[in-house]
Amino acid sequence: STQTKIEALSTMKNITFYAEEYRSMILDHSGFLDCLLHVCLYDSDGECRECASAMLRNIAFDNDAKIKMAQNGKLLNVVLKISSDPSSKTKRNAVSIIASLTMLNENNFSFVNHSEGAIVDMLSGLIRIDDDSAIRKRAARALRCLCDDETVEFLINRIGLMITLTNAATNDSCQDVRAEAVKTLATYSIKQPACLGGSMKLVDLMVDLSKNTNPSCAQIIAEALMKKAAFPANRTLMI
């Protein structure tokens, strides 16, 4: 019955949360991942989908599991799918999975290129339209974690992303989301080399944001500009 299935999934959710040292081993158990993905995609019961997505979220906390999960295209496609689930809890889990996997920089390049940027577009879309401020905040944080020397140009040039982050930094109803968006833009600014086109446009954007934001966000921007100015090539352009 559905209730029995919910109880079984809930038990496994607790196990994957508390048995930290066994998360990677659980992921490797024959048929386990396929079962979870099937529930996430096809189960008609929202609580079952929430439990299955929560298990994936818990397992994604494990560093060894992070690498395995990030290399699994089927899993990433399922996470993309459940990011639009009717359940807010399941959507939160989907974003948390991505955010957790991006904590390892070696996953970033494959993430931004997965399905021609679908993960980046999903996160950007959640910031624009989701009603849940926790989801918007987690999406902005994941977009920050995705940024490194290899991915910064892809992110900055992704259609609509900079507009989305700028709007969130200035207009989002939640102060935490605004702060997270500012942090993400600041990270992009720091990571973008001065020798690449458009570098000063991002600096100008940061300066403009500092004029219309709260003190804590202004401090984040000031620290970012100081870090960028630490490099002689950047100082020449910033003066």
Residue with tokens 């021609």: 116
pTM of the model: 0.87
pLDDT by residue, tens only, the chain of 239 residues? 889 999 999 999 999 999 999 999 999 999 999 999 999 999 999 999 999 999 999 999 999 999 999 999 999 999 999 999 999 999 999 999 999 999 888 889 989 999 999 999 999 999 999 999 999 999 999 999 999 999 999 999 999 999 999 999 989 999 999 999 999 998 888 887 765 445 567 777 777 777 767 777 777 778 777 777 776 766 666 66
Q: Which residues of 65-96 are buried (b: 16+ CB within 10 A; e: fewer)?
A: bbebbbeeeebbebbbebbebeeebbbbbbbb
